[in-house]
Amino acid sequence: MATSQLAAQLEQPLRYPDTNSEPFMTKRARWLVVLGFLLPGTAQITAGKKKLGRFGLAASIFMWSLLALAALGFFLSRSFLINLLTNTWVLLVIQILLIGYAVLWLVLGLDTLRMVRVRKVKSAWRLPVVLLSLVLTVVPALGAGWAANTINAGRGLINDLFQNHQAAVEPVDGRYNILLLGTDAGADREGIRPDSISLVSVDAETGQALIIGLPRNLEHAPFPESSPMHTLHPDGFGIGTYCYTGECYLNHIYTEVQEFTPELYPKATKRSSTPGIEGTKDAVEGATGLHVQFYVLINMDSFERLIDALGGVDINVKEPLPIGGDAYGNGVEGYVEAGQRRLSGFEAIWYARSRYGSDRGDYDRMERQRELQAAIVAQMTPENVLLRFQEIAASGSYIADTDIPKSMLGTFSELVMKTKEYPVQRLELVPPAVDTADPDYATVQQLVRDAVATASAPEETE
């Protein structure tokens, strides 16, 4: 008899419970909490609060639909999805939706806890029901709040870094070519002087990448006939003409143009660039024979913030490198010790900028700078970036400037994912292959063509 009565009690509707039956109220409490978590709003509808429940259910279905559309877009049109999600207005709408849904989730969760009538639940289940309800209410709401805050950091980074609003551009000869300038503008340096100069050339179809390293002391760089600098230096930078900086090196072109002839590039600012950068782009284009479309200017001194935000970088330090000091070993403050190391931001910067302690001097320094850049890319795994995104975003505006337009973010993000599938090809235009004091640019351009062919998709044959 007792068993049949209990079964009848458990079959009663959740909306009109027998509050005197602890077994039924316990089962009801568990069902309401689980329903409220799996599909917010259903607990309220089941218990009779239809207006609030329907609103919560509709909001939940809407949010799940957005996630489903995003997942569909990821597989069908990833570039379009990334371009959409890097639009700051779209991100603002998503941020508002997340905050609103987090508040709604809290309201529904706390209302569900009120509806379970904890005092009518078996004493042994009261604390577990309360704890489960609070965890399933607070944790998702905090997650939505964290996501909204992360999106806000992303909006700030995009606004600060990508200020070029021009339309997307097509690749040239099937490749995107991006000038990567590393500056060493520390507290003891005057002005900006690109000490690390690389041209990153990426196959627009496969993502295969080639990094061309140009030494900072490369002389007599030629300018394309379309360049304003060609008029002043028709035979190459400094050949038969005067260099205001006193030295006609490749990395002095920035200062040469920026400080003495900025009028040559009157539209540079509108393109989110500077005259000095545009002059350097022209020189690299003339030297390599590749059309330079964009630039990324990296402040190596500020890389310390990014590296620390990433939790350090893993590098095999081949030899002890002095921190500070001069060519005679005076003023050395310590060493970046040799071995397989996870370097802090401070150590990594000195690994890249140390001028002394290596047999090949600047050429070894160039190689270490590119090793550091590769190590940073390797450390920027999706899980690490997601975990530390706010710290990374906060450091971004101090580290880099670029003229890559926002409209290209989707295309380049997709290319980056493809690039990781191939080994990055490297070409260093240094001795003995290239005499930096008297380079044969016909030979240089042939070396570049050969390297590009190696890092290109094979031609289809019938």
Over 50: is that where the pLDDT of 189 sits? no
Structure confidence at residue 438 as a pLDDT band (50, 70, 90): very high
Distance from chain centroid for Cα 90: 18
Q: What is the mean pLDDT of residues 193-205?
A: 88
> In this structure, are residues 317 and 335 in contact, taking their beta carbons and an 8 Å threshold?
no
Q: Exposed (0-12), middle (13-18) or buried (19+): which is 123, by Cβ within 10 Å?
A: exposed
pLDDT at 392: 63
Over 80: is that where the pLDDT of 235 sits? yes
Per-residue pLDDT tens over the stretch 266-321: 999 988 899 999 999 999 999 999 999 999 888 766 678 888 888 888 999 988 88
Most confident among 296-300, 331-335, 369-373 (mean pLDDT): 331-335
- How high is the mean pLDDT of the chain? 84
Percent of the chain with pLDDT over 90: 39
Long-range contacts of 325-329 (CB under 8 A, 24+ apart): 325/356, 326/356, 327/355, 327/356, 329/356
Provide the β-strand partners of residue 298: 182, 400
Q: How far apart are CA 195 and CA 13, in angstroms?
A: 76
Q: Exposed (0-12), middle (13-18) or buried (19+): which is 427, by Cβ within 10 Å?
A: buried
Q: How many CB atoms lie within 10 A of CB 4?
A: 8
Q: Which of 38-52, 252-266, 392-406, 437-451 has the lowest mean pLDDT?
A: 392-406
What is the reported pTM? 0.76
Over 80: is that where the pLDDT of 58 sits? yes
The residue ranking higher by pLDDT, 294 or 184, is 294
Q: Where does CATH 3.30.420 sit in the chain?
A: 175-181+193-297+404-454
pLDDT at 9: 45
pLDDT at 244: 87
pLDDT at 284: 97
Amino acid code (one letter) for 113 = L
Q: What is the mean pLDDT of residues 367-389?
A: 70
Architecture in CATH of 175-181+193-297+404-454:
2-Layer Sandwich (3.30)
Structure confidence at residue 374 as a pLDDT band (50, 70, 90): confident
Q: Which of 139-148, 344-353, 453-462 has the lowest mean pLDDT?
A: 453-462
Long-range contacts of 18-23 (CB under 8 A, 24+ apart): 19/117, 19/120, 20/120, 22/120, 22/121, 22/122, 23/122
